Structure 1
Amino acid sequence: MRKSLIFNLVLCLIIGSSFTNKKIKPETVKVQMQQVANWQIVHFKDLYSGREKAHHPRDWTNAAFYVGLSAYAKMADTDTYFRWLKDVAEQQKYTLHWRKYMADDLAVGQMYFSLYDKYGDKEMIAPTQKRFDWIMANPSKEPITLDNYKHMQRWTWCDALFMAPPVLAELARVTQNETYTKFMMSEYEATKAHLFDTEEHLFYRDNSFIGKEKNGKKIFWSRGNGWVFAGLCLIMDQYEEGSKAHQYFKKLYLEMAPKVAQLQMKNGLWAMSLLDSKNYPQKETSGSGFFTYGLAWGINHGYLDKATYEPVVKKAWLGLGKCINKDGMLSFVQPIGAAPGESSADQTEVYGSGAFLLAGSEVFKLYNDKSSL
């Protein structure tokens, strides 16, 4: 109780007056989501992160956008967005990317399950099920560490926990086959045991960061932890409350949530190096979008105290909104990387838009509930 009271007091002190006097209207949230979704669709094949070629449609970067766009498609007043996703999926013949084990190349499967839930055609998820059946029949013997790997066959980096586990959870839900859950939880626990810092309640991006510091601080990458935090919500959505799987992921979620909220900066966003906002004060919207999604999701599901966490979500959403330019582009998205870096007003990426749309889907629910606030 004492810790809870202290945490509430700290949160109240850090909420700036420029945020507390503003209201979030659900209709405005929806408009902002539409602006970002429309801009990203028009610019879907643009070059990002200094690349010479556009991201492959089945690449993890686009997969994260599809996850967010699927969330918005369910809210939209038109089937336009589902049709766009279906066109992309049909062009790819509902297949996953090329590396058999690599979690990044499995992430696009989340879109196929969203389309299956919408249209009910099992052929949409058949190639995904076939790939995972093969993986489980031929489990990788590679170590969990990044210093000796072959195409990252295990979930050796924390980003992977957003990419592959939610797909396995979807498979378990649709097929009612617990084998997918058992495999997923076993692999997830291996990664957690390897990368989760039990003192800081955060994940290292990979083993190259364990035991290292910069500016006297442990290095916990914002987007990396955002991947994990958002992924936990996506996984829990697939399981019944009280099930073994749900309890496992809920416990981890509740370990991370207070730390995430505590580390929010005055501008409403999160520093790229979570414990070092002094040296990383610049805005960054991809990690921040995933954190906003995760915290709003927790309030909406009754797992987080509304009085404590709603001010954090409010401040975060208003901060994210300031990063949408007049054309609808979400700015200050850190380019592809694996560690804290740089972001600027002219930088964007498809996964940043995905994180924003995920966040908006839960922020909309939070403020659209007239009885909740």
Structure 2
Amino acid sequence: MKKLFIALLIVCSVNLTAQEIKPSEVKKNMKRVADWQIEHFRDHFSGKKPHHIADWTNGALYIGMVKWAAMAGDDTYYDWLKKISEDQEWKLHRRQYHADDHTVGQLYCELYRKYGDKKMIEPTIKQFNYIMYHPSQSILDWKTPYHQDRWNWCDALFMSPPVWAKLYRITGEKKYLDFMVTEFKATTDFLFDKKENLYYRDQNYIGKLDNGTKIFWSRGNGWVFAGLVNILVELEPQSKQYKYFLGIYKKMAKKLLEIQTAEGHWAMSLLGQKFYPTPETSGSSFFTFGLAWGINQGILDKGTYGPAVKKGWNAMVGHITKDGMLGYVQPIGAAPGKAWPDKTEVYGTGAFLSAGSEVYKLFGGK
């Protein structure tokens, strides 16, 4: 009986990943997940109370939701995002320097681009100017005071750097780009494994092994990979800064292609598939997003990377419940762990919507 069950799982997995992708179906699934998340926005997920509207968790949701809003064909989703931003008075979250609390700034920048109202980005500009002119004096070592005032964990590269890049593009002021690149390089020098072309989540995982493998957290690297895309889209392709970020992006893309599971997802411990067989949809959605974007931009070869995107997207769609909830999202954490088919988180939805925005274009959506 056990062997039959495993065989059925394999057959279902093969059938799922082989399914053709239609742009209309991509939009349909994006809408299902977006609508479910809005309806359940103030639910409890990883914690005992709903996330603050400006928390990083929701910030990651908004980044995907605003991509969906641009595709949806009506202003329902823009109106929802605008109302949240107005409730927050267009301010970042509570900590001045902490990257997590900058995440929501990406939403404000995108709404500014749509509506052109400077009040939407003025608080972010004011806070970032303060940071630039009063840079943190901390070092990246986790044993030192105020160490998270700088980007010393890989998730941070998704949260804050794209906001700096967007402000550079919006204002034309290179000071925002220069500050961001300097800090990004410091983090990369600190956490990037040049042999594996992946990022350690933070200093605590460097040199440690899990079942004999180096510990590279899937979602942590998903944060980085998606963050790279959200930076690259703001830069001039001929610039030296673009080439720097593109170099990291290509190295990660090549590695991700090598370690994708047969089922289409990426293991929670990227090099430890055998020990972490459970699907995880937030990291995998970010990887799918990043790879699809690269193909759409002509950076990655479609023949080489297209099948990985197809498998990844079909695997993610396979974990949407009939009600529209994206399952198998690992709860808040910092390392490989557990996920369940009936558990989700807002950042998982954001990652899925980001993925859909590029998969839609890749498979013929206009």
**Which residue matches 2:138?**
142
In the alignment, structure 1 residue 126 sits paired with structure 2 residue 122: yes
User: Which sits farther off after the overlay, 245-254 or 144-153?
Assistant: 144-153
- What secondary structure is seen at the aligned counterpart in 1 of 2:363? helix
Quick check: 1:146–1:157 contact (8 Å CA) kept in 2?
no
**Which residue matches 2:36?**
39
Structure 1: unaligned runs, 5 residues or longer: 1-15
- The size of the alignment, in residue pairs, is 354
- For residue 74 of structure 1, the aligned residue among 45, 61, 70 is 70
In the alignment, structure 1 residue 336 sits paired with structure 2 residue 335: no
- For residue 293 of structure 1, the aligned residue among 289, 294, 299 is 289
**Which residue matches 1:10?**
none
User: Which sits farther off after the overlay, 256-265 or 155-164?
Assistant: 256-265
Counterpart amino acid of 1:256?
M
**Which residue matches 2:96?**
100
Quick check: 2:138–2:147 contact (8 Å CA) kept in 1?
no
- For residue 53 of structure 1, the aligned residue among 49, 52, 56 is 49
- For residue 23 of structure 1, the aligned residue among 16, 20, 24 is 20
Moved over 3 A (4+): none
Q: TM-score, normalised by structure 1?
A: 0.93
**Which residue matches 1:216?**
212
Q: Distance in 1 between matches of 2:151 and 2:145?
A: 10
- What secondary structure is seen at the aligned counterpart in 1 of 2:234? coil
Q: Distance in 2 between matches of 1:147 and 1:291?
A: 31
**Which residue matches 1:365?**
361
Residue by residue over 1:42-83, the C-alpha shift from the partner in whole angstroms, topping out at 9 and shown as x without a partner, is 10010011x121100000000000000000000011110001
Q: How does 1:163-174 map to 2 (within 5 A)?
A: 163-174=159-170
- For residue 233 of structure 1, the aligned residue among 229, 238, 249 is 229
**Which residue matches 1:7?**
none
Q: How does 1:254-273 map to 2 (within 5 A)?
A: 254-273=250-269
In the alignment, structure 1 residue 276 sits paired with structure 2 residue 295: no
Q: How does 1:305-324 map to 2 (within 5 A)?
A: 305-324=301-320
User: Which sits farther off after the overlay, 159-168 or 243-252?
Assistant: 243-252
Quick check: 1:99–1:151 contact (8 Å CA) kept in 2?
no
Residue by residue over 1:308-327, the C-alpha shift from the partner in whole angstroms, topping out at 9 and shown as x without a partner, is 00000000000000100000
Q: Distance in 2 between matches of 1:199 and 1:137?
A: 36
Q: Distance in 1 between matches of 2:141 and 2:45?
A: 29
Residue by residue over 1:272-301, the C-alpha shift from the partner in whole angstroms, topping out at 9 and shown as x without a partner, is 000000000001000000000000000000
In the alignment, structure 1 residue 186 sits paired with structure 2 residue 182: yes
**Which residue matches 2:3?**
none
Quick check: 1:257–1:295 contact (8 Å CA) kept in 2?
yes
**Which residue matches 1:88?**
84
Q: Distance in 2 between matches of 1:260 and 1:131?
A: 36
Q: Distance in 1 between matches of 2:208 and 2:100?
A: 26
Q: Distance in 2 between matches of 1:331 and 1:151?
A: 34
Counterpart amino acid of 1:205?
R
Structure 2: unaligned runs, 5 residues or longer: 1-12
RMSD of equivalent CA atoms: 1.1
Q: Distance in 2 between matches of 1:202 and 1:147?
A: 23
Cα deviation, residue 172, structure 1? 0.3
With over 3 angstroms needed to count, the CA separation of the structure-2 counterparts of 1:150 and 1:20, relative to structure 1, is: closer
What percentage of residue pairs aligned between the two structures are identical? 55
Quick check: 2:14–2:263 contact (8 Å CA) kept in 1?
no
**Which residue matches 1:244?**
240
Q: TM-score, normalised by structure 2?
A: 0.95
**Which residue matches 2:172?**
176
Q: Distance in 1 between matches of 2:306 and 2:218?
A: 20
Q: Distance in 1 between matches of 2:89 and 2:122?
A: 10
Q: Distance in 1 between matches of 2:365 and 2:157?
A: 30
- What secondary structure is seen at the aligned counterpart in 1 of 2:319? coil
**Which residue matches 2:323?**
327
Counterpart amino acid of 2:90?
Y
Quick check: 1:60–1:108 contact (8 Å CA) kept in 2?
yes
Quick check: 2:17–2:314 contact (8 Å CA) kept in 1?
no
In the alignment, structure 1 residue 156 sits paired with structure 2 residue 152: yes
Quick check: 1:110–1:166 contact (8 Å CA) kept in 2?
yes
Counterpart amino acid of 1:308?
T
**Which residue matches 2:201?**
205
